[in-house]
Amino acid sequence: MNKFAIIASRFHPEIVEKLVKNALETLAAQGVQSDVIWVPGALEIPIVAQRAARTRKYDALVCLGAVIKNETDHYEHVCREVHQGITRVCLDVSLPITMGVLTVEHRNQAIERSRDNNRNVGLNAALAALQVVATLTTLGPDL
């Protein structure tokens, strides 16, 4: 049985909680056990993802959060650092880590991408993690 961790930002809880809910439901439907690890904001996701990855307790990580442009002066910096940090951890630790951090212009866009439907970013990040784990399994062990 696979075990995943969901690393989720507490910032914008009305949005991120829906992403987490959909990710958990998606993973549970596939028989995957999941731990949810909450962090204060999106910038904290990479360091916590790195530590979680290094424990080797998880087969994949799903990173979830929301960064909304019209609510922060440093939107571009936050988005860039979160994306680069997650990518770096993924490659450095050789563990599937999916990016479900919304980077949107307006709150309405974030609300739309967190609805309980097939466009929910949490659901899609969980599905992507499942697919990458399956693909890597067919490729064999990382040497």
Task: Identify whether the C-beta of residue 79 lies closer than 8 Å to the C-beta of residue 73.
Answer: no
Picking from 33, 31, 65, the residue whose alpha carbon sits closest to that of residue 48 is: 65
User: CA torsion sign, 98 to 56 to 4 to 78?
Assistant: negative
> Quick count: other Cβ atoms within 10 Å of Cβ 50?
20
Residue 74 annotated in active site: yes
CA–CA separation, 63 and 100 (whole Å)? 5
Amino acid at 19: L
Active-site annotation holder among 74, 77, 83, 106: 74
Give the catalytic positions in this structure.
74
